[in-house]
Amino acid sequence: MSTDQNKFQAIISHCKEYGFVFQSSEIYDGLSAVYDYGQYGAELKKNIKDYWWKSMTQLHEDIVGIDAAIFMHPTTWKASGHVDNFSDPMIDNKDSKKRYRVDHLIEGHAETLSKEAGDALLAQMDELLKENDFAGLKTLIESNKIKCSISGTVNWTEVRQFNLMFSTQLGSVTDEASEIYLRPETAQGIFVNFLNVQKTGRMKVPFGIAQIGKAFRNEIVARQFIFRMREFEQMEMQFFVRPGTQQEWYEKWKEERMQWHLSLGTDPAKYHFKDHIKLAHYADAAVDIEYEFPFGFKEVEGIHSRGDFDLKQHQEYSKKKIQYFDTEINQNYVPYVIETSIGLDRMFLLTICNAYAEEDLSTADKQDSRVVLRLPAKLAPIKLAIFPLTKKDGLPELAKELMNDCKPAFHCFYEEKDAIGRRYRRQDAIGTPFCVTIDHQTKEDGTVTIRHRDSMEQERIPLSEVKALVLSKIL
Ligand code: GAP
């Protein structure tokens, strides 16, 4: 196992041990590719959401946010193409009966080869996927002797398409007419509300509609922790533009989204763009923003130039005119769309992977180490930990006064148990950027020790300045 894989396993264990992520229904042995967020995970996730929402809506006067339902009229998914096309090529092993996504099976095998051989295999696969050449993909798997991880055999079925949408029944009657889907993306809730928002908000093209919400996909291969889940959240924005201007807006959103990622202080070398090889038939252009996870560069966000495909499809299937009258050019048209779509759970995983560090703090006379989450202060679940040095002499009272003053403004944590050093380490492990210790000197001169998570430096500052200092770092 490589060091990076060890690091990833350590991150998964850390997420569980410190209340970030638990396997869903763990007491019943869990549910594959479904996860729950614990007490600190839920805070971190919410902070990522808020950061995205604020940057998309509050900081863009031309973007508004909505919150559409998960259930939608089933024709939505006919119109969007998901009923007919939202499928992946799959292959089953006849001996183990295990089903694989063809690209994941081949990618998994490529990882076991030398870089050169792996890249060549992936290039062949990409070419066949682009051509929808299922027989060719099967031959590629067989000629490379790619085995099933369970049975160890190469006894494969034909490659077939498998739809990823979950369906359920609406109401009490079980018939085909009442079959509805759990949305596989949030985008369609935006498209079907285009006119509602445009008219009620008196929005002028170009403008955007943003949304955060759950999406569901019956992913066949559940791998890499919360990277690929069956129930996950997306943060999507559809930007509606005048036809002919889509290229310029696509470039602008590509740049803006990368800047958003970098604004969190991540090393730019950890990110790159990857153009889509196989464009959807309606797309002008599509690119992924990839991040270097411990298991390699993988997609976190997609930016897609979708043309007028979605609105036109809904216009056709609903038989309702979905057009915009552009007063600047005196023309009616169906706007074109640039989409930015990021997985919230993937962004969470990225944030944790990027922040996780194991540090050796040993000195000549003492062995020491710590695990620290170097989270951006604005995303940290707890912003300030407040520690009275002892449980007596009026120190807890002073500490609680500070707590009461700060907690309406940001999330604080109060603790009086254990040695200060151990209390610091626990906060390092959940990424708390600041710890304040109230000691006897506080009573004399009104100062406290503030300890900075990343440098571990401590300084004395007036108690009255703590709140403003933390606020200045988290806004
Ligand atoms: N509306 C466009 C759309 O849904 P996508 O590339 O299928 O495009 C967008 O998904 C983003 O959603 C991805 O970049 C990824 O971050 C996230 N995502 C997709 N499938 C996921 C899954 N099974 N688990 C977690 N996140 C997922």
By alpha-carbon position, which residue is closest to atom 22 of ligand 1? 228
The verdict on residue 276 lying in a domain is yes
Same domain for 280 and 411: no
pLDDT at 193: 98
Tokens of 150: 């369970």
Per the structure, the complete domain to which residue 271 belongs is given by: 5-73+178-352
CATH assignment at residue 251 = 3.30.930.10
User: Helices H, strands E: what count in the chain?
Assistant: 16, 23
State in Å: Cα 201 to ligand 1 middle.
28
State in Å: Cα 236 to ligand 1 middle.
10
Among the ranges given (6-10, 30-34, 50-54, 280-284), the one the predictor scored with the smallest mean pLDDT: 280-284
User: How many structural domains compose the chain?
Assistant: 2
Reply yes or no on whether the pLDDT at 404 is more than 90: yes
The verdict on residue 295 lying in a domain is yes
Same domain for 394 and 329: no
Domain boundary among 334, 352, 370: 352
- Protein residues whose CB sits closer than 6 Å to any atom of ligand 1: 185, 187, 217, 219, 228-229, 232, 234, 236, 299-302, 339, 341-343, 345-346
Compute φ and ψ for 277, nearest 5 degrees: -80, -45
Contact 216, 234 (CB under 8 A): no
Same domain for 343 and 391: no
pLDDT at 221: 66
Give the residue among 475, 464, 408, 409 at the shortest CA–CA distance from 436: 464
The verdict on residue 167 lying in a domain is no
Among the ranges given (132-136, 236-240, 345-349), the one the predictor scored with the smallest mean pLDDT: 132-136
Separation CA 345–CA 185 (nearest Å): 14
Pocket residue to mutate for ligand 1, from 191, 211, 234, 258, most atoms within 8 A of Cβ: 234
By alpha-carbon position, which residue is closest to atom 20 of ligand 1? 228
pLDDT at 1: 44
pLDDT at 171: 82
CATH assignment at residue 426 = 3.40.50.800
What separation, in Å, do the N-terminal and C-terminal C-alpha atoms of the chain show? 41
Separation CA 293–CA 10 (nearest Å): 13
pLDDT single digits (tens) 170-194: 887 666 668 999 999 999 999 999 9
- Per the document, the length of the chain is 475
Separation CA 261–CA 118 (nearest Å): 29
Contact 198, 62 (CB under 8 A): no
| Average pLDDT over the chain, rounded to an integer | 95
State in Å: Cα 178 to ligand 1 middle.
27
Pairing status of strand 331-333 against strand 324-326 = antiparallel
Pocket residue to mutate for ligand 1, from 185, 274, 287, most atoms within 8 A of Cβ: 185
Reply yes or no on whether the pLDDT at 42 is more than 60: yes
The verdict on residue 169 lying in a domain is no
User: Span 412-429, mean pLDDT?
Assistant: 96
Element (H, E) at 367: none
Reply yes or no on whether the pLDDT at 345 is more than 70: yes
Same domain for 261 and 404: no
Same domain for 242 and 192: yes
The verdict on residue 105 lying in a domain is no
Pocket residue to mutate for ligand 1, from 299, 313, 337, most atoms within 8 A of Cβ: 299
pTM, 2 dp: 0.90
pLDDT at 129: 85
Pairing status of strand 296-307 against strand 167-169 = unpaired
Same domain for 388 and 344: no
pLDDT at 441: 97
Tokens of 76: 């939505």
Same domain for 403 and 465: yes
State in Å: Cα 232 to ligand 1 middle.
9
State in Å: Cα 229 to ligand 1 middle.
10
State in Å: Cα 317 to ligand 1 middle.
25
The verdict on residue 86 lying in a domain is no
Same domain for 407 and 344: no
pLDDT over 90 percentage in the chain? 89
pLDDT at 175: 66
Reading phi first (left if > 0) and then psi (alpha if -120 to 50, else beta), residue 414 is in beta
State in Å: Cα 388 to ligand 1 middle.
45
Same domain for 316 and 221: yes
Reply yes or no on whether the pLDDT at 222 is more than 60: yes
Name the band, by pLDDT with cuts 50, 70 and 90, for residue 278: confident
By alpha-carbon position, which residue is closest to atom 7 of ligand 1? 185
